[in-house]
Structure 1
Amino acid sequence: MSYRGRGRGGGYNGNYHPGNQGRNSFADHQQNVDSFVAANAYPVEIAGWDGANSPSECINFISRKCRVIVTNYSVDNNTRLLKGYVKNESQANTLLNWSGVKFAGQSLRFAKGPSALSNQITGTKPSGASNNTIETITEFLKSRYQMENKMLNLSNVKQDPTLNSLGFFGSVSVSSKFFPALMKIASDLKLDVASVDLSSNELNDLQSLSSMAQTFPKLQNLSLSNNQFSKIKAFETWRHKLNFLRELILFNNPLVQTTNPAEIQSIKLELMKSFPRLVVLNGEVLRNEQVLHANSTFPFEAPQPMFFQDEDVRVLSTNFITNFLNLWDTNRAGLMVLYQNESQFSMQLDSSQPFLIDENSNSSNTDYGNYIANSRNLARVSSAKMRMSKVAVGQEQIYKQFQQLPRTKHDIVNKPGAFSMECCKFPTLNGIVITIHGSFEETAQPEISETQDSHGSGRGGPRFPSHSRPKKAALAKKCFDRTFLVIPGPNGSLIVASDLLLVRPYSDEMPWNQTATTAPGSAPIPNVPGAMPIQPPTSAGAGAPAPALNPTVADLPAELKTRLQPVQQEILVKIVLETKLNLDFALMLCEQSNWNYDQSVINFKNSASSLPRDAFI
């Protein structure tokens, strides 16, 4: 039997897309966390339910009778009140209107807030503090966070009296959602965490903690002692995600209680594969940290954004790229004089890299609908015939592919630091190989769609009605790498023999940016013996002494310590380490950013290219 044609997408109704499976699962997981936080936003209390055999019977009755769902419920053993949460205050008011409704021979009483009826029973005064789910978890995180050690203590959370009283661990389904919600809120708080203690939490897998790798990607120390891990496979959840993890503690877990030397060695090897910088396991040094650091460190001291083989190459390549990108953004037809009958162009799409959210537009850059049809990614396209068909040869084919790509803007004039070039001679053809890296902004949809022919109609003709055609791809920022082979043409002109364009997700962190040497939350730069401490500035601007490469709060001038608050002093030192600005300019940056660290970093990145050389150490 053939299933072809059933539904809009055939036998599976178009609902299964293997390429999107990972992205959809992440989105579904995030939606579940958001739903959990939203659905447990407003606390209520219920009295008079004792006539039932179990609290669930009362909750089901309220759902049927009052049309309000009470979640995350538990029984207070002291007051015998049934406590739970509803979605918002409006639903709580609806329950208040149902006070007195008969259930199991008794009248139910409802109250808003976490302790309204409790206070009546115990005679205590109500607290004015808000105890909804988000605020409760936020206060819990703040109470467990040690700023001076960058330590987050999440040990034995099920025994926390506040969380227990609010029923966070009243059932398995609710408990499983606690850690994802906690990690989401911790991410919003932007806690600077280097160590996490997750001991004594009855953990036997890491599914509920999978998002911790995104919340604390620079995590260095982790304790999972006194849990129930029995299989090394449990750590697959974090494989190659916690790439800065240095020390792991697994005491009192079934996994490490074996006495078989072969099993112990196998566990060590698997953990070292999962965490490439793991050095210490249960207090035992697994490998030479200095050698490991040398092997995992970028071998070049200071990556440069530009490389030219000689001065002639620099002049020719910079002029070529400047004019080419200007015409690419404004008049692609004008570029056709650079291509001949033997010229080739191909475009590849690499969507495997992590994507970011554009801070300005607040939209992701993961829509590749304008690129997929022409993409010649050899890791995805295996057919030799298909590979050849995606190479445009000659002016006509090349221009047609140009028209099928979105209109763009490369801001190379105003932001040259956002681009990098490598240019060298190609003696075989007396030409130059030019490679440029950077980003562009999509400004308009392609002139022609990949699904249209030269007459502007769909390839399928009238078989496909207009409502079934795919919607236009969203425009966003993208990054790119483009390589040209340029050879001499007639009358001293240049000809593009080969043009390779790679499009990938947008990121504002460029590897050639020397200022991005220490990310927030990463390990501080180690102290260098004999390094000079920060000296007090004698005057603003040029001539002020430069700070050392490893300043601490203790090195700040006495004048600044008197004038600045302790938190401001820490932010100032972090900005100096992050940006390599001298003390005067770092102080100016912090003041203009209202002492907000994240805003200071953003403002610095936006203005770094325009700062004078003496602004830096």
Structure 2
Amino acid sequence: MGPKKGSASNARVTRNGQASTSKASSRGGISKRQGARPLKVDRDGDLNMDASAAGSASRSQPKRSNNNATSSSAPIRTSSRNPRPTAKTQQIIQRVINGDPSQISAHRAGRRTDVAPPVILRVQGLKDSKAASNEGGGLKELLTFLERKSQTVGHTARPVRIKKSQINGDFVYITASKEDAQEILKVNNFYFAGATLQITEVPEGLPNRDSTPLSSTALEMKEQLRNVLSTRYDVNAKLLNLSTLGEDPTLNQMGFFRGEATPEKMFKALMAICEGLFKTPQAKRDAVVSISLAGNNINDVSQILSLTDTFPDIVNLDLSRNQFKDLKALQKWRHRLRSLQTLLLNDNPIEVANPNYKAEMVTWFPKLLNLSGIQVRTPEQVAATAAASRPTPIPQGGPDFRDINRVGEGFITEFLPLYDTDRQNLAAKYYDEQSTFSIAVNTHSPHEAGVPLPTWGDYIKFSRNHMKRNHAPARQQRLFTGASQIQALWNQLPPTQHPNLAAQFDKYIIDCHPIHGLADPAGQSPLGVDGMIMTVHGEFDDQELGTTKTTKRSFSRTFVLGPGAPGRNPIRVVSDMLSLKAFKNVPSPATTQATTVNDQQKQQMLLELSKQTGMTPEYSQFCLDGANWNFEQALASFHEKRAQIPPQAFVAAA
């Protein structure tokens, strides 16, 4: 763990600001100290959180330790290198890290039900790659490649993270969140170290691990690690004190500091045992609120990354008296520990190398209140920021139906039954070579209680949701232009059954507005012709392709209608946008008080309005704000007031 011997990182900065070098700093990571100074213990015989702060009886309380966190500048010295543990010892450590399958299953059974479960992916190709001959079989290189490449391909602003991994035969099984798994699947068929990767989702989960019982030696080692944890846990303070692990006599006796990287393996083993001590994540959150890792010679959080997997919700963390010298050493925790309120980084080189690091750290942890003894936020500021990030309800006045000569009524009355029974003739009648059609799937919309969440396999590959498809080629491929393309796509979508519009009108909300300035298909009016925009909110049942399974879904469908070309149907569909989501009853106009538009929906509406009107995003947002983020009303308002809009409201190409 940390820089190797002889690297440029061997220089250390002491509290008085002077640089010093020592053999101890030649290796980063958790290390032991030498010297005759005895270990500090509290009245119960446990190690103090800050063993170097003499007389500090309150060190076990993390929030009261802010003023004491810098009380010691004693350097951490490593022992001279002893022979590496035997291969058998390494195997025993690895089995302790893996843990008992029964305990892992028990933990999984207690997952929170309000978050999406992780996704298991199977990766084939590592064994055939040049990286297979590397130390560790090339697994580390593969995981780094997948995280980096999936973030690049998907153009995601956030990092893509693989939570867990294991090699089983010719495959590598990885665990990631649902969102990250979708990005990793985009790397399927990419080349890695001369081999083609095949990445598939594994709905049945991980294959069964070897259930052979641990040997007596492994069981003894596991029990020793449990004892180390028990002596370092303060039940009253809910504190897990893992400071100065290099001075722990039990860990030294077990030989964890005799070879390269064994301290990191030891830390993983401790976290694996912690994982098995709690039946549910809530039990873990209730038991461990604070953790101290002070005085462990850690120079990069990648060495202790398993901490954030095991204790993602800790509130207080002490990293003082380590070797963090810059923000890069802390970067991998940027999107983790979202509940952290107190973080101590006193007596780390970063304090001298980058005095302004606090400003960046505040942006990484949204609930951080105390950073190295300095208040950086108040609880009221945290609450206000959280409230501002939640979508607020906006009033909905019900349907606004302004039809012209009952054209809209006649169109929708014919459209819905034909879409259910005769899509080919429907497309031929109302769509021409310039008509466009697109689908947007919203997998995170509110849904009706008691109704199972639907699957989206028959739709998701065609989805043009701008929050998910965030680069131009993917969006363009999912915009279908011309009656023939639209017919071909409709043939690939599941058959549907909409409620009868005349008999069950309460299952729909329909808005209709006149618009102006549509392109004249006859080419006689350079200023454009009149048309209308119609939006239908409702529901339908569809049948999964290849099966008899039916699913109820909600939909919103927005049509832009205009006059047809000479010799064709008098009405043509200029644009058809279908939005799908989980089923939820449409609100009654008489009882509806509010509807919610979240940030994702706002961004999609903003992009679509800019595309259809040619306005800049700034003026498109003005238009949507004025319409209370009702897309149809904003588009209708644009066409009604087109002549009054200033030229600077449009992009240069317009």
Where on the TM-score scale, by shorter chain, does this alignment land: which range? 0.3 to 0.5
Q: Which has the higher contact order (CA 8 A, sep 6+)?
A: 2
**Structure-2-length-normalised TM-score:** 0.39
**Structure-1-length-normalised TM-score:** 0.41
